[in-house]
Structure formats: structure tokens, C-alpha cells
Structure 1
Amino acid sequence: MVRGKIEIKKIENRTSRQITFSKRRNGLFKKAHELSVLCDAQVAAIVFSQSGRLYEFSSSEMEKTIERYVKFSPDYFVPGRPQVELYLLELKKEMDIMVKKIDLLEVHQRKLMGQGLGSCSLAQLQGLETQIEKSLRIIRSRKAELYADQLLKLKEKERELLDQRRRLREEEIRETLVRPMLPVTLHTGKDETGSACRMSKHSSEVETDLFIGFPATRL
């Protein structure tokens, strides 16, 4: 089966976009590793996700690869300025910021799950409660929509079954009304052509006279 051509544009669905990012990122790093092994090349790849998280791959030390890149790239190489150190410092700061954000999100997620609440103040607990109640309202609203859709589908199915049942009953009544009346035949013996009646008539003509000798031949 031939796969359809995928249109290269931004994926609007957030979940699908994250799944695609993870798959393509792993595929990119895998190809970079294969290129470095098969061709004995120094390969480095740096990827930032939409949330700003850093992902990187390097067949050797990343710093040395960046230094070589700056050395051979005239756009980033300015004599007398430590561009490599500045770039690495900015990159390290950004990584630290992302790590702190991730840590805060993980702590907040644990609190939403009811874990690690001992250090929370009353105001923080009230904020968590408000957020959870808001999330519950959204979930219940979506649940009610799904229930309503299922109810509509069931009612539509019920109407179809009732219509089908009504049509079957109408066809049954119509066949009963147009069915021809079959003649009723009373059988009084084994023979349907009236042999029983002839036998009865013949038996009534049997002679009952008493005589001695051979019976006379009847004409």
C-alpha cells in the first residue's frame, strides 16, 4: 500500500504535533548517528522543542564541534571576540531556565495529583482547589456532550427500529388480506373421488335372500 504524500505545514493538533516531533526527532538523531558511523564524520544536531526544551546529539564532544563550526563559519566568527564562549554561556543559561521550568511543572503536577502538599500554604491549596474544580467543570461538560451525542444516536436507532417494525407489520397485514381462500374438502374415506359413497350404495344393493346350491350368474 502506497502512503499518501504528507503536506509540509504546521500540525494544528497539539497532541499530534508533539507525537510527530518526538518521532521525527528520534529519526533525525538516528540518521545523524548512522552518518557519523558509516562515513566517519563528526555530526552534531541541536533541537529546541516548541516549549523550549533542548535536545542534542553529537558524535563527539559538542563544544569541540561548535568550536570547529565557528572557526569555519564566517557569519559567526569575529576576530577578537570569544563567540564560542558567549554562545555556550547563553546556551547554558537557557538550559538552566528550561530545567527550572520543567522542575516547577513537575512539582505542580504532583500537587495536582495530591502529592507533596505539606509545604503548601492555605492560599496555595485554595488555588489548587480552584484549578481542579475548573478542570472538573471542563471534563464534566465534555462528558455531558458525549452522553448527549450517544443519546441522540440511540434515539435515532430506536426510531429506525420502530419504522422497520411498522413496515414489517404492514407487509404482514397486506399479505394476510390478499391471500386467496383455499377450498375446504371433506374426506369421508380413503378415496378422494367419492369411492366411499359408491361403496355404500353398492353395499345397499346386496341381496339377502337365502338359497341352496350354486349362486346364479347375474347379468
Structure 2
Amino acid sequence: MNFGIVLFPDVEELDFVDPWEMLTMWSRYADGPQNCLTAAQTTAPVTCAKGLSVNPHHSFDNCPPLDYPLIPGGQGTRREVDNPAMRDFVARQAQNCQAVLSVCTGAFVLHAAGLLGGKRATTHWGSLDRLRALGDVEVVEQRWVQDGAVWTSAGVSAGIDLMLTFIAHVGGDEAAGKVQFGAEYYPDGKVYSDFRGHPQAPGYIRCEQQSL
């Protein structure tokens, strides 16, 4: 099983590092994918949104077939949706994969590759209206959304929840439990300041506010 995370300039670091951590724990400790890899248009170092430099394992040209490609988000997606190499790579990999995943604004890359039209999906709270404006996506304001073989998540840290749910779906609850325990990922639910009342707060945050 090959699980690949697609990188590009100005990718948001935690959009792919969070899933990578969950993914590699799954691989090492819970019989997850045999091969965990990263791919980019070239194997030159990729400079991320906050300045981190990453060396991709593969270029688009020599990347093996992926069972599960994941597209992270970040400001770079605004450029990548118009990048034929990116669109073609994602569309080509999706032809034979078992599922495709995105974090944050990676959803727009999925759409550009022809994979999100007619689907339910989510993205970062700051881009929900932009996703609605595409006209053919049913936007759901949740932490993560599955529609068939397409999985999307909200922004940045939501990639952890996406991956744990995906691991449980593919590998079972015990595998997801091992990963969650290894990562010590047990959020305490504390929300700082009053951002639950922010006018752009997604629905799942507003619902939490109403339940308090």
C-alpha cells in the first residue's frame, strides 16, 4: 500500500506534517501502509508557507502509483489550481487509487483535478465561501467530510482528525487507537478568547458555543 502526500511551494506546514505523523505511526505500529512518501513536481527542496524546507521523495514523473494521495493546503494552492502538472498528476493518480484526501484548501486542487464536483466537502473556515462559489460542491461546515472515496477536512490541525478517522475506516478502531495513544492526541476542548463568536467561525464551532 502506497500513501503519498503531495507537496508544493507555500504549502502549509501542519497541513501535511500532522497527517504525516499519524500516517507514519500507523505504518510503524499498527500495520498501516508499507510505503509512506512525499511527491512534488520536482525533487528540489520545497519551501513551505512558514519557511520550512522539505525534500520530496519523488517527482511527479517518477512517483509510484498511490493507493491514497493526500493534498494539503496553504496559499500555494491558489497557484497550483492553475498548474497543469499538478492537476494532471492528481487526476492521473486518482484513476486507480482507493481514496483521495485533502486538508484545508487542498480541496481546491481536488476540484481543479475534476474530483470534487458534485461532492460534499469542507475546507478552511476562511475559504468556505470560496468553495461554495465554485457552484458544484455541497459545502459542509464540519471538521472532516467523507463522500464516497473523497475525504476532505477543515484547516491545518483538522488533518489530525481526518487521518485518525481515515485510519479507523481503513485499518479499524484498534489501529486508530494505537495511533491516537502514541500521538497522545486527546484535545481538552478548551477554546481561548471568544473566537466561537467570530462571524466566520464554521458551523461545528458555533454548535459547540450553543451547547455551552
What is the TM-score of this pair, normalised by structure 2? 0.18
Q: Which has the larger radius of gyration?
A: 1
Q: Judging by fraction of residues, say which structure has more helix.
A: 1
Give the TM-score normalised by structure 1. Answer: 0.17
Query: When you count strand as a share of all residues, which structure comes out higher?
Result: 2
